[in-house]
Structure 1
Amino acid sequence: CYKYIIRNIKFVIRLLRTYAGQAGGNKYDNKGGGSNYLCLPSDPENGEAYSYGNDGLYGAEYEITSSSKPSGLPASLTQKEVPCAVCRRKGKVSVLMIPGRKSCYKGWQSEYSGFLISEHITHNNKDYICLDGDAKPLDDRASNENGALIFPVRAKCGSLRCPPYKDNTEVLCTVCTK
């Protein structure tokens, strides 16, 4: 994060970096699974080994080539992994979902921890969300309409750095407040 951002030359807003890591998300050609990019911390807390046919979590890669690059960006970014940072504004209330961890960083309060989930890779995609590890049903009623469905996500090595991540493991998550 930039230590200071100057806006309208009159206001200086102090931003604090919560964590830095690698951008990631769903595989580019999956119809379903997660739809949003995630900032994955560089110090994950890996889940248990888990292999199944659902969505994998991959590292984001730059697709900046000499023929498609915005002016000022080097073509040498092509196929390189994308760094990221999560920042917060000092003095404001923040709610943060951290994928890849089951505990919050120092100074943050954990509201719950659990598992990163999304839609199945063969369905239409949805945002990644953090399912409470102590999830309970709304009530005892059951219907099989196959509306919005949720499936656990697994880590996939390659563009996602392993280590620190581990291939075919549950992707844990936590929701933190400050």
Structure 2
Amino acid sequence: MSAADDQSNLRSPPGESASGAVYVRWGHHSCPSSSELVYTGSAAGTSWDDSGGGVNQLCLSQSPVYDSPVAGVSGQRSFVHGMDYLIYDFPHLQSKKDHDVPCAVCLAPARVAKLIIPGTNVCPSNGWTREYGGYLMSNKINSLHRRTMHICVDRAMQGIPRTAGVPSGNKRDALYLVEGRCSSGGGIPCGPYVDGYELTCAVCTK
């Protein structure tokens, strides 16, 4: 099957509309009841110690289709690796440490806007629907680690079952919780924010 043939399978049947807001539900195999599942995948990204490669996390298809591949690992390529949770000193999610990260691409029908709000796990009250709430996560701050995008990982965090207890060194990309660092002299304000608290997030559609 060619890539073009595979794409044709994703088209809506005649008379059906695929309009709506599309988002990734990070950390979960399925979509909320308010949305339709487009596909289930596995989170992947560039290794934390590579200086090149993409900065964004990918929801990688579980049904790959190749087009004229060349066998063998080439030094003239960019690489993506599996991604796992590295969660320390946070009892609520401690059991998910070293699990690989699932993801689901979801379609919210009849909605046209998507909003990811960092710092809160609730959505605006004027007609927005909360698809899910969770924790802000990214690669950690370290001179040996590269920068990544911040993503919103579902609070009902799931892992890929076969990956339980597999050391993170086999996966090469990781998600850490994000803390807010506030200041009374400018920057993120202390008062509404608490220095060192883990930040939440919400994915909203309208």
Give 1 or 2: higher helix fraction: 2
Give 1 or 2: higher strand fraction: 1
TM-score (norm 1): 0.47
